[in-house]
Structures are given as structure tokens and as C-alpha cells.
Amino acid sequence: MSTLRIALSSFGRALVREPRAALFGTGAVAFGVLATLFLALVARGLGDVAAHGLPRAEMVVELSDDLPPDRLADLQSRLGALAVVEAVRKVEPGLAMERLRASLGAEATVLEGIEPDFLPASLEITFRPGTAGSTAVSTLAERLERTVGVAHVTYLGDWVSRLGALVAVARAIVLCALALGGVGALWAVAAAARTRALARGEEIAVLALCGATDRFVRAPFVLEGLFVGLFGAALGLGLLRLVLHGLAPIVAAAPSTALAGSFRLDLSTLLPPAQVVLAVLLVGLLSALAASIGVRRHARV
């Protein structure tokens, strides 16, 4: 208890005599918690996009207007029987026009006066996972281009592959930034503790003359680091909630696509309310450890 009273008294004096060091450590922890959790949310969102939000590789086969129904049914049946094909769907002109209007959003007024059957009927082919860019798919596209009754073939597999690679690279960058942010915050706590230890060199010398041990001298700095971590973590969580609250309207106004639906910035899913207290305590303990490392050379008798 005496050590705790000394630490509390030392922390109070630090706020009065050395406010910049204490505030620097608290601010660094708050910013570190805010940045780390925000980047963790972004990384989680990108992981969800990579796992569930990326569209499957598809091929759109536009059909000629003069293709007989029996030939169309035969073509659809033969495509569905291929090993690389997962599903084949026929898209009527009216449905294609509705999709185009939905994709244009507010700009859909440019389609006013255009007949619903202006766009050609088509077949949408969805391929099985792992088949994008394969020789079988490329060969199928070439064969369909030469098929009677087929007007045009569009293959989206290369675009999907490039998008998946970009998502993977972005997630790796975010994870690296997350690690650097966490390490940087702990380094700042250690630097602040070291600054306070250097500023209290005379007090440490007096304690040494009184027979204090290294553990007794370091204990106040470690407990100060714990307090700084607790206060900073609580402040960082509060600021993060304000940031997410401000971003909520922007995310809600995003286009309703597969990618937007998979990318979520929801703190409660990453850190449920029941775990918030544990997270704050963990940050406090890590800050205490960082402070202990920071004063190891300077707070000794």
C-alpha cells in the first residue's frame, strides 16, 4: 500500500510539475488505441471482403435476337454440364435494363424513353472457385465467340483476380501499419517514463541514500505507466466511437454492392462491450511493461 500511495503521489506531482511528459504518454496511448483499433476494423473488413465480398469470376454471353429458343435451351444445358461452370442464368432484356438503372443510381434519368427490351438477352456464367484464368475458361470464351447465335462474350475473371490481389495487398499494408502503431504507442510510453525518471534524478539519489531498492524506485514509474495506459485506452476508445459515429452516415450512403456490404466498421463486432474493460486493462498492463523497460537504466540505485 505504501508503494501505491507513493506512486499516486508521484503521479499527481508529475501532472503538476511535468505535465507535458504525462500528457504526452496519455495522448500517445489514446492515439495508439484509436489508430490500432481503427486499422484492426479496416483489416477485418478487408478480410471479410476477400473471403465473402469479392464477386465470382463470371462470363456474360450476349445473345443474338434471332437465336431460336431450342438452340438457346441446348446451349444453356451444355454450358451447365461443364466441370468449370457452377451456374448458368438467363437474363432477359427487361431484367438487364433494371440492373443498368440500379447501377446508374441518380444518373438513371439518361435512360428515360429507352425501351425495356433495348438490351439483348444474355447468359451469365458463374465459374467454380479457383478456375478463374484457367485454360479451360479461356478456351470456352474462344469457342463461344465462334458459336452461332452469340453476339459478344465478356469475361470478368481477370478483373476479379486483380481486385482480389489488390485487397490482399491493402490488407497486408493495414496489418503492418497496425503493428507499427501499437509498437509506436508503447515506445512513446517508455520514452515518457524515461523522461520522468531523468527529471527525478535527485529524488532517486535521495532514495538510494535511504537504502531503497531498485524495485522500490521503479515501482512508482511502473504504476504511473499503468495509470497512463488506463486513461489513454479509455480516451482512445471514446475518440474511436466518435470517429465511427461520424463515419456512419458516409458508410450508410455508400453504394449497395457486394463489396460495400462486406466492409463494415462496427466496433462491437471486433470488441464486444463485455471485453472493453479487459482491453483497457490489457493496454494498461502493456503500458506498465513499457514504462518498466523505459526506466530500467535510469531508475536504479
In tens, the pLDDT along 69-105 reads 888 888 888 888 888 888 888 888 887 777 767 766 6
Instruction: Assess whether 39 and 174 both reside in one domain.
Output: yes
* Closest alpha carbon to 21 in 294, 301, 219: 294
Instruction: Assess whether 34 and 172 both reside in one domain.
Output: yes
Lowest mean pLDDT among 89-98, 240-249, 261-270: 261-270
Average pLDDT, the chain: 75
> Final residue of a domain: which of 88, 122, 155?
155
Task: Centre a 10 Å sphere on the Cβ of residue 194 and count the other Cβ atoms it contains.
Answer: 20
Higher pLDDT, residue 29 or 22: 29
Q: Based on the structure, what is the number of domains in the chain?
A: 2
Instruction: Assess whether 279 and 213 both reside in one domain.
Output: yes
* Closest alpha carbon to 233 in 293, 265, 276: 276
Q: Which residues pair with 153 in a beta bridge?
A: 61
The residue segments making up the domain with residue 118 are: 58-155
Element (H, E) at 130: none
Under a CB-based contact definition with an 8 Å cutoff, are residues 185 and 266 in contact?
no
> Final residue of a domain: which of 133, 155, 177?
155
